[in-house]
Amino acid sequence: MNEVYRQEKKYFMSLTDMQRLMGLLDQVMIQDPHNGARGYAIRSLYFDSLDDRDYQEKVDGVELRRKIRLRIYSPAADFAMLEMKQKQGTYQKKRSLRSARSHAEELVSGRYDSLLTYSDPFAAECYGMMHMWCYRPKTVVEYLRKAYIARENKIRITFDHEIRASEACLDLFSP
């Protein structure tokens, strides 16, 4: 399991402003090694309870909340990242576990038993939470990300664009 604590600040901007700012960052920061000319693709499948508990907590501004997702960087990938993001005031904790594609496909189908095959306690925590709150796949969000990293302190600045979402096709690995 990987675990990071961070602060996230999110801003909307026009494509023109985004291009201008990326031009300035090119001069002073390192581009993420995964960047292509337009960035790299991200596709996430978010889970939520039958009554949309996680979504409602976000809308209500609940200070301590969490969400579970599967994330891939290519539909051809042989793995997915199972991630839990926990909001704690101004900070956020993100824990992630690399999951075999076959296990991720089981999670998408609503079968969570494969989580019990991992020795990491994080997998068991996800299993318990997903069963207790009757989690189901709810939304797929995909976008392109272009990321920059500061040389001195590893601060990341990311630009997400071409954002799309679907509640109709929940097949994480569809082309």
Q: What is the DSSP string of 137-162?
A: EEEEEEEEEEEEE-TTT--EEEEEEE
Q: Which amino acid is at 68?
A: I
Cα distance between residue 61 and residue 83, in whole Å = 21
- Residue 5 has a pLDDT of 85
Q: What is the mean pLDDT of residues 23-41?
A: 96
Q: Is the pLDDT of residue 154 over 90?
A: no
Average pLDDT over residues 105-126: 97
pTM: 0.92
Quick check: 76 pLDDT over 90? yes
Average pLDDT over residues 14-27: 96
Confidence at residue 26, expressed as pLDDT on a 0 to 100 scale: 96
Give the chain's count of helices (H) and strands (E). Answer: 4, 8
For residue 15, the model assigns a pLDDT of: 94
Distance CA 33, CA 55 (A): 33
Question: How buried is 133 (Cβ within 10 angstroms: 0-12 exposed, 13-18 middle, 19+ buried)?
Answer: middle
Q: Residue 50 and residue 37: Cα distance in Å, rounded?
A: 40
d(CA 3, CA 84): 10
Q: Out of 54-58, 62-66, 74-78, 117-121, which region has the weakest mean confidence (pLDDT)?
A: 62-66
Query: What is the CATH code for 2-166?
Result: 3.20.100.30
Q: Which residue has the tokens 């292509």?
A: 36
What percentage of the chain carries pLDDT values higher than 70? 100
